[in-house]
Structure formats: C-alpha cells, structure tokens
Homo-oligomer: A and B are copies of this chain.
Amino acid sequence: MSEYRTYLDLNGNPIVNTNKIKILETAIDLFSRKGYSGVSIREITREVGIKESSLYNHFASKEELLGVIFLNFRRAIGEILLPPEMLRGALKQMIAEQFLQQGVINFKAHIDDPINARIWRIVTIEQYRDPLARSILVEDIIQRTLSFLESAFALMIEQGAVKPHPPKLLAAEYQYPLFGMITEYNLQKYLDQDTSAIEQSMADHIEFFLSHVRTA
C-alpha cells in the first residue's frame, strides 16, 4: 500500500481510515486484473483481512467503491497537463522539443505510479459497461489532451517554431501514436515485460514528428 497518497471520498473529504484505504487499494488491484464483475466483495475483504459486512461501513455498495476509485483518478489525471493559462508562458521559455519532452516526462511520472497504471487498466476494461469509465477515457483523457495540444501547436506556429499545418492535425498526428503506444506500454508493465522497445518507439515518434514539422 502506498503510504503517502491521499484519497478523497464522494464528499471531497480526505479518507483517513486505514482499512478504508486498504479496501480501495485492494479493489484497484483486483479490478485491474479481473475486471469489476470478476471480483467479489468477499474476495476484496478476504485480502484486506476484514469481514464482508465491515466493508459496507465504508462504502454503501460495490458500485460506490468503483465510483470513489474513478473520482480519485480524475484528480490524478488533472495533474498531467499544464493548466491552459500557463501554456503561453511555458512556451516562451522552452523550445517545442523541450515542451513535448516535458509532456512525456509528466505523463511517465503519472503512469509509472502503479496505482494510476492499474486504474488506467480498469478504465480500459470497463469503458463499454460503465458510462463513468467511458467519460474518463473520452473526455478526461482523449479530448482534453487533444485540445490542450491543439492550443499548444497553434502557439508554436504563431511563434514560428512549427510549420503552419492545421493545429488539430498536428495534435492528432502527435498524440494518437502515443495513445496506441501507451496501451502497449501498460500491457507490458502488467506482464512485467521489458518496456524499453516501446519507450524507444515513443522517443522515435517524437523525433520523427518534429523532424517533419519544425521550422528550424
């Protein structure tokens, strides 16, 4: 169990009870491997070391438990991207290359946290069954990243750092390969496989992309 992470409940209050945190993290682990429907309350509480009935003192239902997991993931995702109002300032201080590399570093810090990686997998597994999982995937991950990058590339073009392609096209060309590679990265991490090849592919992609769009 991660010692220093804080979780919020549905009212936005920090969760302090040790068993409640244990339930959350055990559920995250099991859901990410077997899916929500493949895991029973019984299995979670057995692993935590409490009785089934005790879980209901912390969460009203199995579904609420998943809801709290997703709520906290939304918070964590929010920290990957720079706030839009800081975009212009950041791009004044960095060249395009640095800016994009910093984005990858931020993302890597996020996904290399085992808890985040697990919830990312839960979102993938549950996207067709659960509307909340789906909205996290579509709105918080895909759309948010693409529109952030669209603004960033528009600014880079304004600065003359990048050739004047449509910013939306640049965002898609830059990000979609990374989405595909992240899926693979996440699966390899799950299997404890070596991820150096796919990480190299990510780096190669950024280099290939920039070599064709930068003005310098």
Contacts and interface: CB of A to CB of B under 8 A. Distances in A.
A124 interface: yes
B187 A134 contact: yes
Nearest to A204: B169
Interface stretch (A20-28, A90-98, A125-133, A152-160): A125-133
A179 B172 contact: no
Nearest to A166: B204
A contact patch SS: helix
Contacts of A32: 128
Contacts of A56: none
A110 interface: no
Interface stretch (A33-41, A45-53, A75-83): A33-41
A121 B128 contact: yes
Interface residues of A, number: 38
Contacts of A138: 187
Contact of A177 (B124, B134, B180): B180
Contact of A212 (B172, B180, B187, B212): B212
B176 A180 contact: yes
A128 B35 CA distance: 8
Interface in A150-182: 165, 169, 172-173, 175-181
Q: Which 9 A-B pairs have the closest CB atoms?
A: A37-B38, A179-B180, A176-B180, A176-B177, A37-B37, A180-B180, A212-B212, A177-B177, A172-B201
